[in-house]
Every structure is written in C-alpha cells, then in structure tokens.
Structure 1
Amino acid sequence: MSESTQPAGTAPVPAPSPEPPPSRTPPVQPPDAPASSRTEPFAAAPGLPDALAALLAAESVHAARWYPVLRALAEEWRTVGELVRASALSRRGVERLLDALGGELEHDGERVRIRPAAAGRYLGLPAEWAGDPARLSPERHAAELAELERLVAGAPPPLRRLDHVAATPETALRRALLLAGRYELAGAHLLCVGDHDLTSLAATLLHPGLSASVVDVDDRVLGYIESSAARLGLPVRCYYADLRHRLPQALAGGADLAFTDPPYTREGVELFVRRALGGLRDARQRPVLLAYGASEATPGLVQPVQETLARLGLVTEAIWPDFNRYDGAEAIGAASDLYLLRGTLRWRPAQGRRGAGPAECAPSRIYTHGPQSLEAPGGDGAAPAPSRSATREAVGDWLAEAAAARGGRRVPLVDWTAPPAARGGAAAVDLLDAAPGALPRALLTAGADTVYAFVPDDAHELRRRPAQRRLAALLDPWFTLRILRGTPTPRLAVVAAHRVPPDSPERALLARCAQAPFAPLGSALREALIAVEAEQGRTVSKREARLRVAAAAPWLSGHALADLPAHRLSRLPSVAEELLDGR
C-alpha cells in the first residue's frame, strides 16, 4: 500500500496570554535536511524529561515521527486534534507524547504548549516529517551529488553473474535523503546487505551521526567502499560473506535499519531480506528498505515476491514506484520500486549456526545470470565427479557420489565454511557454483591439511598469471598452492592447497589465528601473540597484547578471519610482523 502525503497543519491558535514568544527562533530547515550538527540522537539531549527521553529511545529510528509535534508545541498553542491532523500520528500516540512531556507543558483549556522557558531545546527539530519521496529536495545537495557522481564513476564495473546493475548517483542521493527525512539517524547504524550501489557511502556522507556496515560477496566492492570511506572520513565497515551460508556473527542483531537491493528473483529477495532482518536489533520494530522491480508486462513475477514477504511476517508500509533508477536493466525499464518493510509479531528469526539463519533457508541458485542462476546446470554440466583416494571428505553436492564410492564422508559446503572440527587429513571441495571469493575462504576455514578445490577453469583467481600470484600471496601464510587448469576436464581446474608448517614466529601467530577462523580476530591475535611470545621465552600480559593489537590493526575490531575482505586479509602478514616487532 502506498503511503499518502501527510495533511498540512491547521492555522495556529493565538495564545491568550501576553507572554512574549521564545527568544530563539532558528530558520526553518527543509524537511530532508540532514541534522549535520547532531551526532547523538535527540533522546540523549541534556535536560529532557526522563519519560520523554525513554519514549524517544524506545522508538529508536522511528523517533523522527515525533519531532514535528515537539517543535509545534514549542512554537505555539495546539490542541490534541490539531497535532493529530498535522502529524498523522494516532491520538493515543500524541497523548503518550504529552504525558511524557509532563511538567514541560502548560495548559489553557484544551490547548497545550511547551513552557517558553523550556521551548528552546525543541526549536531545532524539523518542522515537518519528510516520510514521503515527494518531499525530497535533491537539488539542495549539489556538493553531495557531485561527490557521489565521482564515487559511482570510479566504482568497480558490474559483475553480470551477480546481477549487478549500477544505480545512478541521483538514486543513491535520494535513498540517503529519504532515510534522513524519515528516521532519526544520529547515533544509528545502517546495515547494507550487498552494496554495489554505494548506498552506505551516500547515507554516511549526508549524515555524520550515522554509521554503516556493508556485507557483500564482491571483494572489489568491499575494497572500494572502505578506501572511499577512509578518504572521506566516513564510518563504514565492510565484511565478506556468501549470504547463502550466513551473516557474519559481528553483524547479527546490531543494526537500527537495513537496506538491500538484491537479485530480482524470489529466492534472491527472500535470502537478502532474511539476512537484513537477522542484522537488525529488533526486526519487529526496525525497518528494512528493499529495492525490487519487474517490467510492467510481468506483474506475475511480483506476486510471488510479495507473497514471500508476507509469509516472512512482514508488513509493507509503503511502496514507492520507480524510486530507484539504473544505468542498465532496460528489461525492467531501468527502474525499480522501493519497498518499506517492517516486522510483525509473526516474524521469528531462524535459528542458524551463527545466529543468521540455517542453510535450509538459503537456496544456492538466487541469480538470473551465471553459475548461480536459477537456470544454470548442476555440477560442471559435463564431467563425472573425480575420485581421489587420499581424500576422506567431499565437500559439496557434485562430489557426494565420489565420496560414497570410496567410503568417505560428504559435507555440505555450508558446514565446511562453518566453525570446523579438528578434521586433519585431506578433503576435496566442490566450488563450481561458489560465489566470487569463495576459494580463499574455503581454504582458510578448512580443518584439513590438504585441500583439493575444484573450480571453473575461467575463475577470476585463475584467469591470468597476476591473478594466480595474488591468490598465492594471499594464502601464503597458511598454504602452498598448485594450480592445475583444464583438470580433470577442459572446463575445470583443481587448486591443490597444502598446509605449511609455521617456520617463523609470524607464521606461527597467523597459524594459530586460522585455528579459529570464526572467532573475533582481535581476541585470536591477542591469544596467539601471548602464546608465540611464550614459545620464544618472553612473557606478554593480556593488557600489553591488547594494546599491541590495537596499535597494529585499529580496523580489526568486530572482524573474524573468515569475514575479512581480501584487502584486509592481505595485510595480516604485515600486522603479524608489527606485533612481533613491538616487543
């Protein structure tokens, strides 16, 4: 159901008393203007009545709905009915707000206002709630738009296999403005589930009090976002994850609102929305904004998606047609709708291995193009699964038959990339349909000493010698690699990874971290540092270890080895050297 424009407020009622108006009257800002001077939520402002602060804090990002009411009460006398009509809030909601104001109010019959002596703290709040895109004013943000144009122009090119289509800079700006107009963003945290469109950068660029996390399967995008955020001084953190398996534990239950522009299949929408909900502090209170579209000729594609959202226990509070515009995607008119979703009491988070949903909720085919598309053939589409007598485990569906033939154990890929048991020995891993970046992560999370990874022969890590050298350098602290292209068929390749015994304190430190790839990496590094130094006959206290890790890798907090983007993973050897040089 589309959201209607709010009615305008009624004419002001003159106050009967001769008291002068409050002395501070700031200029009226446009409703979508970011509160650039405020980095903490208004609920934390000093001097607020305790009941009001508690009410606004409980409303979280939705507290912005109440701000125009507070401003109106600070400006002039109002009746409850006038406040309801001007704000579109329920009468019970307005009465709750008045009760929370308590002694801040004074009454004149049915009219009420905030005492002039206390009105000043409320006059800086927005005069209107810009909860509708029709009220956005992107033309007022030329400098931000120019920066977004530079960012979009420099972004990594789209990957067809991931259904990437770049949103326009204007779309990124309008998304950020809508967030600002509709929600309290000061002190809030935004989760972007996939972010090829750079929504995280747009939102934090406009709102200094907002922080953001990005989870994506494309290391290029993660590296670009983090480098751009560092250049602009924006609080954005990036995590690698194949969302078909899980959301990184650090992101579970930590966001105040979420945004996602997923693959436009029913399976893709359900998966990305599930992960977004898993990242919210309370999915029954906090919003998910979803970009999704189909052409005007295929409404039948939209119906199952909307049915899926309802089955998840979500209510669609608004749908804004053609809100998102793209450079491409002409099959759907180069546009998609923006859905505003909110959980209900029917929503129940799935109980997964890492708190972000089980594998049964995540089909492997979610895209419209590439090896993970709904129409792609299984396995390599041609060859029987190979047999390697040395392997005791076969990871992935394609290798299950070979594992059974030799008495081995078949392991789903989602289990292989979960916290491992002490397996040892050798294993074969089917990565033919895996996401980009899966190869190094499958090896890093392996408990086996030798891993044979089967990948497409044209995998981007193998296409050229420089890419192969980068892969070998990335995994050098833990494995030596042998790459066999065109094996066992012309369309396949085998990456044979052999775990190397640590031959230096630095390698020993990183080897210990790899024993717990899903544990907080800061903690793993501190414990490894203490142990490695003890092996060298030196004693390091927990406090000293904590200080040394914080100095060597200030970006590390909240990460696990398994979710580090490639550009961060490549820095670990230098971090290990700095840690051990700090003695």
Structure 2
Amino acid sequence: MEPSDPVPSGDSADLTTATTAGPSGMSGDAPGPAAPVPARAPGSAAAPDSAPGSAPRSTSAPAAVSTPVSAPVSAPVPVPALASALAGDAAGPGEEAMALVARAGIDGRRLRNALVALADGRWWTLADLVRETATSRRTIEELLREVDGRLERSGARFRLPATPASPTTPATPAPRTGPSGPPAPPEPSDLPAPTGTAARPTRTGPRRAPGTPGMRPGAVAPADPVAHLLTDHGDLVALMDELIAKAPRGRHTLDHVAATGETVVRRALLLDTRFWLDGARLLCVGDHDLTSLATALLHPGVEVTVADIDERILAYIAEQAARLDLAVRTRWADLRLGLPASAHAWADLAITDPPYSPEGVALFVARGAEGLRDRERGRILLAYGASERTPALALKVQQALSGLNLVSEAIYPDFNRYLGAEAIGSAADLYVLRPTTKTWPAAAARVETAATAIYTRGPQSVESTGPSPAAATSGAAGSPAPGAGGPGGSPTAASGADGAADDGFAPEVLVGDWPRDVLPRVPRARLTTWLAKPYASDPASVAISVPAGLETALPRLLLATRAREVRVTVASPLRDLPADLLSPVYRLTAEGTGLRAVRVPPPAPETGNAPDTGRAGDAERPGDNERTGDTERTGDAERILRRILDNAHGKLANTWREALIGARGDLTKKQARAVIAVVAPWAADVTVLELPAHRLRELPAAVRESLSSPAAAGSPG
C-alpha cells in the first residue's frame, strides 16, 4: 500500500485510547501483530554507511562503541512543505505544537522527528508513530492533542497535510555524492524563515534560518550498527515476522511484549558480526521474542539453548526448530528458582530481554552470567528500555547492573522495537555487557537473595508483594500444622503437641517459606535447594509452601520429592493441575489452596512366570504369545519410566540407559545410548526437572519405542 493511499477505518486503536502500562510498557495481554507499519519510501530502510561529515563505516562489522540507533529514516519531505509545517502554516502543526517542541529543549528532537513523520505523506496509527520515533505514548499523545485540529484522518489513522512544492523548488534534495545512502539533506540555510522573523547575526559554521525549529528534511538517522546489512536478509525478516505472528500470545503477568521480526534479525546480525559464532554457544535467558530461531537461521554453526518459564513458548520453539532443522534445545526454568542444570557454565554468549524492573533485570543478567563457560571472554546482551519521561527508573536498573560489576562495552539506544510497550516508546536499548572477576561473587549474592516479585504487572509484580501462603494462613488461634485439614491438604487446623495434623500427617521436612513458629524443630529447605540437588535424607512426609507466582514449578517440586506423602500449600486455588505429568508417580487430591500427593507403589518387577491364559489344562491359543509380549513390554516401559521419574535430579539419558539395558538384556551401554538418541534426541544432557512439559508428555511413548528399537544403531562395546 502506498503511503498516500487511504486506509480503511477500524484497524487500530483510536489515538485517544489511554494507556495503563507499567514501567515496562505492558498493557494487558501482549497484543498480537499490530496493523502493518506504512511502507517506507525506497532508499529509506537503512541508515547510511556513515553520517554526513564522518569517516566511512565498516560494512562488515558493527561499531564497537556506544552508537545511537534511531527509527528508520523517513522519505525526504519536500522543502517548502517541511518549512511550512515547522513554521506553523495552516497545513502545519501550528503554534501550540511548536511551543510544546520549544519547551522540550534539547529533547525536542523526538517531537521534531514525529512532526516530520506526520508531514511526510504517510498514514500513521498511534502505535506505529510511537514505535517509529521510539517516543513514549504519553509524549506522542501530548503532541497529537496540539495538532489534532490540523490532522487529516482516515479511520484510526492520521497525518498532517503536506503543502505542495512550488514549481521553482525541487520536490526532493539532490542525490548525495560519495557512499551510497539516502539523499543528502539541504543546507539549513535553504529553509525559509517564518514571515516576520528577524534574522540573527551572521556566524561562522553551518547556518540555520532564524526561527526554523531545527529538523532538516531528509535528515538521516544516527548510525545503526547493522542496518546496512538488513537489505540482504529481507527473506529472514519476513520469516521471523511470520513466526512471531504465529507464536503463542504473550502473557502480561510475565511482562511479555513481542519484538518485531526486524529486531530479532538485527540482534542476530549484531551477534554474527561482533562475535565469531562458528562452534559458539548462545544461551537465551527467556525467549518470547524467538531470538534463538533468528540466530540459528542466520548462522547454523551456533548452538542455542533457551531457558524459559512459559511452557507454550518452549513447545513452539522446539516445534519450529525441528521443522527448520535448527540446533536449538529448550529447557524449562523459573529463574527465581535457578538456572537449568544443563545450562550452567555452558554458553559463550547470553542474551536476555527481561522484566523491566531492577529486580528482574538484575536476576536475568545474573543467571546469564551463571550460564557462561568462558569467564574471560563471555558476553551478555541485554535489552532494556525506559520512557524518556522516567530517567529515575532507568537509573535504578543501571544501579542494579553496576552491582553485578559488569563492563558496559556498548549501549545501542532504541535498538529493539516492539509490537506494544508503548509506555516506553515501543523501544529498548541494547547493552553489550562483559563480566569481570568481581561479577561471579556479585551474581551469586544476587541470586541468593532474589525476590519472587520481579515483574511489573500482575500478582508477581514488585508492587504486589505479600506474605507466603504458609504465613498467610497463620492466625491468632495458633500456628497451622502443615497439611492439616481436608483431603486437599489445606493448612487450617492448629497443630497438636507432636506437630501432627488432625489426620496424623506430620512432615519430616518443611520446604519453602514457612513461619518460624510453625514446627520449629522440623528441618527446613529452600525451594531453590530442593530443586538443585536431592535431599540428604529420605523423608517419608514433606510439606511444601509455594508462593504466588511459582505455581508452574509445582510439578518439578513434587518430582524432586521422594516422600510417600506430600502436602502442598499454595496462595490461591490451583487451576490446570498437570495430573497427567505426575500420574506415574502420584495420586493427587486438591481442595482449596491445598494439595495432597500420595506416592503410588512402583510397578512390580517381572517374576518370569508365564501368565495365566485361562482355565487349567487349556491349550495355548493363537495370539497368546503376542499378547504376552505386549504385556511384558508395557510392564517394562512402566518400570523404566518410573525409574527415570524417581531419579529426577539425575541425567535422564543415563538413568534411561541403565534401565533399558536391564529390561532388554541384549544391549551394551553404547547401543542403549544410541537407541535413546534415536527415539529421544532431546534427552541428552538434561534432567527430568528441566524438561519442558511437552517433553515430559512425550517421554512415556519414547520409552516404549526404545524397548523395540533396533540395536544396530550402536556397535557392541
């Protein structure tokens, strides 16, 4: 669609819609793909190789210093039209808008960029203009209120009418000579001064017409480290736009806002041009933006691991990686409880776009540091943005980063663009951080004291902190017995003298945050410790307190427990309890905010006796052997699966291999390892506790297949 074409109404939110976003720019559920950004004019998609008057920039690698990045350059505006718009003619923004620009002082560049965009002939939605100019929605709304009476409208889109160029004035500036790029802007002196404005005294250096607000038509954006490479990757940008559009809808409680396809490709280009990726490993600390797929598509030689809390995203990334034959593996992780075991000291590079709170940024970056195997040359790339109106919030985040003793090698302003997050201008900076020898103790201290509330919205936000579920149930009548009450295990009854509940349940270990006066003599364990390693003893009964926001960790907390009975207390009634994942191990009963999990007996070992096929003396019937074989394989599969799940802290492939050898009797270790690699290539170097839910659901079928898979895949020995 051409920029001047009318746009049907009703395709975007009205410009007067108010935002309710928090510090990170989230507003309800993250939106799906927004209305398409109006097409750029030819030659305006990328910044030139060098800014006017500067030395030519390398075309093979990004700049290694902090480099400003701005919105894509708009098509040059005819000189008379721009001068008219900026001077306040009837077709321009008017005196009120220019007064707003003047009050902005040196920060008025953002508003001038917006005015030039409005006058360049294209139709804009509020979301598009916010993203194009990387300016907060609130600031853009203020500007639009000042020019509202002068705007042309087509449905929910708008623009400033352009004044036709005079017959004696060229519609566009003359082409630049030298390196390729957008046309050079005219000299400031070529812009006419508003009528009645007296000229200032002559001065040396570049001249500007008196009263001209200072935005030159066709001015180029500040240098972009990888924009000159984008033209060669249009197909990849289109593919990433499609993948992002089809990805699971973002969750506002996890601060999800999707980045644009161009943004994730630019991240991949920056990684590829700044670092040597052949044989390198990249850890994505959260990846709702699908940076993992973009990087693997651009450079197949890099290995990628994604650690994320969102099971839907993990399943989607795994599905697309398999379809596209990419070396991307997925791991479930709630980073408040730890980094996946297989991701520790694994990566050469880490990249993260975390919750935009100081607590969230510090935690995700610290986990990224934990994931680096090269402590001398490893890097962490961080996407973080704040509104130009709230520098104090950015200061808090930068103070948190400073506490991790990281070197900021580069900061690329407005590098990342989003389909949402309008409170921060739908944009975020990109930091390139390098750890120092002091980073590791600082990171360890940070994760040790990490809070549960790290997000900017919802029950897990920094503003929504409250007592733990166990503490909340404590009343004046006395401390509750963990697990006391009904069959769901809700802690409602007072404890007896021996600490037992009314039904006789007496926990031998308390896991999580329990009040100090609850069973003070019973040993305690932190949730992070419970997931990190097996408990030293083998308790028969355990009580677990799960705070609000950590409910997704419940299946892993139960699998990490080998007690005969577990009582769990949560902050709110459980929904979508994953009973199917736990049915081989537990019988679950939920009631209110309590959950009772009783361990089921393991499958009985094979006795070797022939099964009873009928009445005594009956002859063997056709099909009996086949049915017997199926029954034996089913029993073997159940025993192998139970052995794997009972050893949740151990390497899944190792436990599976030993159990498979015992069940089949015809495999060596090498052959068993090869069989597992064929039926479950995702099982290598992973524990049960970090497997995404979709892999846990695939595990029973994979175990059954391994019992009948040919052994020829592995040679004897």
TM-score by length of 2: 0.57
Q: CA RMSD in A?
A: 2.8
Give, in whole Å, the separation in 2 of the partners of 1:330 and 1:135.
Answer: 23
Give, in whole Å, the separation in 1 of the partners of 2:283 and 2:403.
Answer: 23
Equivalent of residue 325 in structure 1, options 404, 407, 417: 417
Q: Which structure's residues are more often helix, by fraction?
A: 1
Equivalent of residue 328 in structure 2, options 236, 253, 257: 236
Give, in whole Å, the separation in 2 of the partners of 1:279 and 1:373.
Answer: 25
Indicate conservation of the 8 Å contact 1:394/1:400, yes or no.
Answer: no
Post-superposition offset of 1:214: 0.4
Matched to 2:403, the amino acid is R
The reply on whether 1:367 has 2:455 as its aligned counterpart is yes
Alpha carbons of structure 1 residues 5 and 316: separation in structure 2 relative to 1, 3 Å: farther
Alpha carbons of structure 1 residues 238 and 5: separation in structure 2 relative to 1, 3 Å: farther
Q: Deviations over 1:332-355 (max 9, x none)?
A: 222111111112243335797xxx
The reply on whether 1:565 has 2:692 as its aligned counterpart is yes
The reply on whether 1:502 has 2:594 as its aligned counterpart is no
Post-superposition offset of 1:180: 1.9
Give, in whole Å, the separation in 1 of the partners of 2:460 and 2:519.
Answer: 23
TM-score by length of 1: 0.70
Match of residue 306 from structure 2: 214
Indicate conservation of the 8 Å contact 1:443/1:497, yes or no.
Answer: no
Alpha carbons of structure 1 residues 493 and 522: separation in structure 2 relative to 1, 3 Å: same
Matched to 2:519, the amino acid is A
Post-superposition offset of 1:9: 7.1
Indicate conservation of the 8 Å contact 1:158/1:165, yes or no.
Answer: yes
> Counterpart of 2:235 in 1: which secondary structure?
helix
Indicate conservation of the 8 Å contact 1:217/1:435, yes or no.
Answer: no
Match of residue 411 from structure 1: 525
Match of residue 156 from structure 1: 248
Give, in whole Å, the separation in 2 of the partners of 1:382 and 1:252.
Answer: 35
Matched to 1:449, the amino acid is R
Gaps of 5+ in 1: 11-27, 33-130
Aligned residues: 441
Q: Deviations over 1:221-257 (max 9, x none)?
A: 1111110111111110011112122212211222121
Equivalent of residue 430 in structure 1, options 545, 548, 571: 545
Indicate conservation of the 8 Å contact 1:386/1:399, yes or no.
Answer: no
Q: Percent of pairs identical after alignment? A: 43
Give, in whole Å, the separation in 2 of the partners of 1:369 and 1:500.
Answer: 43
Post-superposition offset of 1:156: 1.1
Equivalent of residue 247 in structure 1, options 331, 339, 347: 339
Match of residue 24 from structure 2: none
The reply on whether 1:551 has 2:678 as its aligned counterpart is yes
Post-superposition offset of 1:402: 3.1
Indicate conservation of the 8 Å contact 1:200/1:236, yes or no.
Answer: yes
Give, in whole Å, the separation in 1 of the partners of 2:294 and 2:225.
Answer: 16
> Counterpart of 1:348 in 2: which secondary structure?
helix
Q: Which structure's residues are more often strand, by fraction?
A: 1
Give, in whole Å, the separation in 1 of the partners of 2:515 and 2:673.
Answer: 43
> Counterpart of 1:190 in 2: which secondary structure?
strand
Indicate conservation of the 8 Å contact 2:603/2:638, yes or no.
Answer: yes
Matched to 2:649, the amino acid is F
Indicate conservation of the 8 Å contact 2:585/2:600, yes or no.
Answer: yes
Indicate conservation of the 8 Å contact 1:287/1:340, yes or no.
Answer: yes
Equivalent of residue 447 in structure 1, options 562, 578, 595: 562
Matched to 1:396, the amino acid is G
Alpha carbons of structure 1 residues 436 and 219: separation in structure 2 relative to 1, 3 Å: farther
Alpha carbons of structure 1 residues 5 and 194: separation in structure 2 relative to 1, 3 Å: farther
Q: Deviations over 1:82-130 (max 9, x none)?
A: xxxxxxxxxxxxxxxxxxxxxxxxxxxxxxxxxxxxxxxxxxxxxxxxx
Matched to 1:447, the amino acid is R
Give, in whole Å, the separation in 1 of the partners of 2:534 and 2:282.
Answer: 31
Match of residue 481 from structure 1: 588
Match of residue 392 from structure 1: 508
Give, in whole Å, the separation in 1 of the partners of 2:446 and 2:60.
Answer: 44
Post-superposition offset of 1:558: 1.5
Post-superposition offset of 1:418: 2.2
List, as ranges, runs of 4+ consecutive aligned residues in structure 1 with deviation greater than 6 Å: 4-7
Indicate conservation of the 8 Å contact 1:291/1:337, yes or no.
Answer: yes
- In terms of mean alpha carbon deviation, does 179-188 or 314-323 score higher? 179-188
Give, in whole Å, the separation in 1 of the partners of 2:263 and 2:56.
Answer: 30
Gaps of 5+ in 2: 1-48, 63-222, 485-499, 605-634, 712-717
> Counterpart of 2:413 in 1: which secondary structure?
strand
> Of the two, which has the highest radius of gyration?
2
Give, in whole Å, the separation in 2 of the partners of 1:322 and 1:495.
Answer: 49
Indicate conservation of the 8 Å contact 2:61/2:226, yes or no.
Answer: no
Indicate conservation of the 8 Å contact 1:31/1:135, yes or no.
Answer: no
Match of residue 629 from structure 2: none
Alpha carbons of structure 1 residues 242 and 322: separation in structure 2 relative to 1, 3 Å: same
Give, in whole Å, the separation in 1 of the partners of 2:652 and 2:443.
Answer: 24
Post-superposition offset of 1:523: 0.9
Alpha carbons of structure 1 residues 168 and 413: separation in structure 2 relative to 1, 3 Å: same
Match of residue 368 from structure 2: 276
The reply on whether 1:379 has 2:485 as its aligned counterpart is no
Equivalent of residue 511 in structure 1, options 636, 642, 667: 642
Give, in whole Å, the separation in 2 of the partners of 1:348 and 1:237.
Answer: 25
Give, in whole Å, the separation in 2 of the partners of 1:260 and 1:5.
Answer: 29
